[in-house]
Structure 1
């Protein structure tokens, strides 16, 4: 945040691409429905304010360093709108530019050879899931497991699952200690090689993204580019990208029952599922090419260059205005901190000052440097 402020003091225009909500909150990358960021993140529900009002002070520090010389890029309309609603970016220009995929993602591999490598039969219905961290609640694997619980009440599905004609496979970082997941799913591992990940997508029939919040998940783009259709909840960048029954599938609501209903319907019509996968592939090629992304960014950079030429004579005025803004918000920051100290016992207040005071911190740093 301080580096951004220093660049703005030099009258530099900054183009900042957002990938989550961190830029306009007191620390959350995703807010889980909390709207505290609309009011300076006061009294954060995740932190103990008696220890340290970290969220509010972090938020105010952002307010000190940001200015209208920032321009944002968001990969989804959903994230762009949330940023626009925030007090920090309400007067900021925001562009929507989708993420892109390297051309190699659109390579085709032999589906049956890949399945053979993983010990999966050619006539098996493979349901897939993947995330950087499987245990992250926001990614919603709990909904997928609950959907399987419901589907196991159907005799046809249960028989197919028990005879290994239906399997659930997932990849990503996983501790290997969740019994509710392991009763249905097998962990393929965690991969960093793009070719290996692309092969995994292509051996699947359907890739499920039961996220409760998401910007424009790369797993969705990668799966579509691999001709494997995606099933997700109608949220964020997912509902902006997937056209139900055309280039993917959407559950009716954020619920395990809705997910189960769609999974059963897809399983019963694999030919249609494959057709949707082809459409997903074509859509990904057209929408998520690197050329599209590069041209969109080029348009922004050119316009910013012209802006800087026209406004170079206003540099001094801009600096004075920014310095005034920083002083106003800095005073608010100090006041918030002092109010916090007053609310504590003398012992807690002393310890708080000792460990968090910038004066003490600067003194210690200068002492270390001298040593």
Structure 2
């Protein structure tokens, strides 16, 4: 019988954003498989003893210096972009002393928490590290999605997301520090997990991470919790008319440019279908649309209630311009609701055929509109579509399947623990 693994998952938060939810779901899957897993975070929200907030507090002096540097770099930053985070943080080496007590460290979304130099220069006391990439930040000069600029392939600089024309700007300095730090890691000490084929291809092209082995392991979820609910009951709970034709859009923030809500709103404006209803979930408030009722549910943290939201919808629309492997899409499938989106990022790894949804070229509002109309015209069997969505979720995206894939990767990494480091890293 193989021994239980001692695993440390590291994420900046434990209850904010899709990455934290994905990491916690993996943690639950590892525990269910009989392993000793803990989640180490900068800021704890859950009442769960297996989630540990690091005891070391950030250095106030270092935090102030980093804040001033960021404010200077952000003077000309355009609006509409998401976070921009560098490799340096106010947390020192001792914040991560827990690594000496485990067999494997699994990094997740660690921006604003993990200081690259402090963490990756620990030397022989560092166990193998598996890094799950929830976005592009680990191999860029600071952005989390590059908006198609691809400058990270040549070292960043003159960053569009900083509004910069300076080739030696903050993005170039961050990129060079990251490369210097990770170049000094011995082989077989860092393993990368991509959530899909798109991200794997980007990682392999990255001068920062391209030399490390990459495995594809999609996110998982509790398929008993996210399951098809009775649609009539779900609509009753949410106060949605039973005759409504419900289009669902979900994002942490409805106003994030990358998530593409403006494309959905434009598509809906051209649809003349009785009882059209836009249901949204997330921060913000969409603009009203003529001939379309709607309601924003705001931020929902209760995952059981979220399953009712997905079950109440006829179609879930995700018109992102860039996305990794959105939890929302696999949550929708697991609840039996098909997905319509743009053919970008990790969406093709989720919407694999027209039995579970449809993908259209990015930015094509006409084809997005036609996809919505086709989904709402009632000419397909909802039962068949729901069953196909559910089958795919059970086969590919359950927590048990995800945990098993990670455990196999962890065991492969263990014998390869490097004994010889190249000395302390100086960025």
Fold shared per TM-score above 0.5: yes
Q: Deviations over 1:130-183 (max 9, x none)?
A: 10111001111111011012224xxxx2xx1xxxx2211101111x3x535698
**2:382 and 2:315 mapped to 1: Cα distance?**
8
Q: Aligned residue for 2:251? A: 131
Contact 2:276–2:291 (Cα < 8 Å) also in 1 = no
User: Which residue of the partner structure matches residue 173 of structure 1?
Assistant: 283
What is the match of residue 3 of structure 1? Answer: 118
The 1:253–1:64 alpha-carbon spacing in structure 2 relative to 1, beyond 3 Å, is: closer
Go from structure 1 to structure 2 and tell me whether the alpha carbon gap of 1:6 and 1:33 turns closer, same or farther (over 3 Å shift).
same
Which of 47, 65, 70 is matched with 2:190 structurally? 70
**Greater percentage in helix:** 1
Question: Is 1:260 aligned to 2:369, yes or no?
Answer: yes
The residue number in structure 1 matching 2:210 is: 90
Cα distance in 2 for residues equivalent to 1:296 and 1:216: 16
Matches within 5 A, 1:210-229: 210-229=319-338
1-side partners of 2:153 and 2:239: how far apart? 51
- Distance apart, 1:105 and its partner CA: 2.6
**CA displacement, residues 35-55 of structure 1 (integer Å, 9 cap, x when unaligned):** 110111122122235698211
Query: Hey, what's the Cα distance between the residues in 1 that align with 2:132 and 2:123?
Result: 16
CA drift at 1:274: 4.1
Q: What is the match of residue 175 of structure 2? A: 59
* In 1, Cα distance between equivalents of 2:154 and 2:365: 33
Aligned to 1:151: 271
Unaligned runs of 5+ in 1: 331-371
Q: What is the CA-CA distance between 1:239 and the residue it aligns to?
A: 1.1
Provide closer, same or farther for how the CA distance between residues 108 and 35 of structure 1 changes in structure 2, counting only shifts above 3 A: closer
Deviation at 1:244, TM superposition (A): 3.0
Following the alignment from structure 2 to structure 1, what is the Cα–Cα distance between the partners of residues 290 and 259?
A: 17
Superposed CA deviations along residues 101-156 of structure 1, whole A, max 9, x for unmatched, are 0143344433212212333222221111110111001111111011012224xxxx
Unaligned runs of 5+ in 2: 1-115
How many positions carry a matched residue from both structures?
Answer: 306
Q: TM-score, normalised by structure 2?
A: 0.67
| Corresponding residue number in structure 2 for 1:46 | 161
What is residue 221 of structure 2 aligned with on the other side?
Answer: 101
CA contact (8 A) 2:203 2:209 kept: yes
Retained in 2: the 8 A contact 1:229–1:273?
no
Choose 14-23 or 99-108, whichever is displaced more: 99-108
From the superposition, tell whether residues 91 and 36 of structure 1 become closer, same or farther in structure 2 (CA, over 3 Å).
Answer: same
Distance 2:336 2:192 in 1: 32
- Partners in 2 of 1:100 and 1:303 — Cα distance? 21
Structure 1: distance between partners of 2:405 and 2:287: 46
CA contact (8 A) 2:344 2:362 kept: no
Q: CA deviation at 1:196?
A: 0.9
Matched, 1:289 2:398: yes
Partner of 2:135: 20
TM-score normalised by the chain length of structure 1? 0.77
Range that drifts further, 94-103 or 48-57: 48-57
User: Any idea what SS the aligned residue of 2:142 has?
Assistant: coil
**Quick check: 2:271–2:373 contact (8 Å CA) kept in 1?**
yes
Change (3 A) 1:218 1:87: same
Q: Hey, which of these two has a bigger chunk of strand by percent? A: 2
Structure showing greater radius of gyration is: 1
8 Å CA contact 2:314–2:375 kept in 1: the answer is no
Structure 2 distance, partners of 1:223, 1:277, is 10
Distance 2:307 2:324 in 1: 21
Separation (CA, whole Å) in 2 of partners of 1:91 and 1:170: 41
- Secondary structure of 1:105's aligned partner: coil
- Name the residue aligned to 2:152: 37
Q: Does the 8 A contact of 1:105 with 1:225 survive in 2?
A: no
Instruction: Tell me the CA shift for residue 292 of structure 1.
Output: 1.5
Alpha-carbon contact 1:248-1:277 (below 8 Å) kept: no
Q: Deviations over 1:298-330 (max 9, x none)?
A: 11211121112xx53xx2xx425xx5xx56xx4
Structure 1 residue 277, shift from structure 2 partner = 2.1
Where in structure 2 are the equivalents of 1:110-129 lying within 5 Å?
110-129=230-249
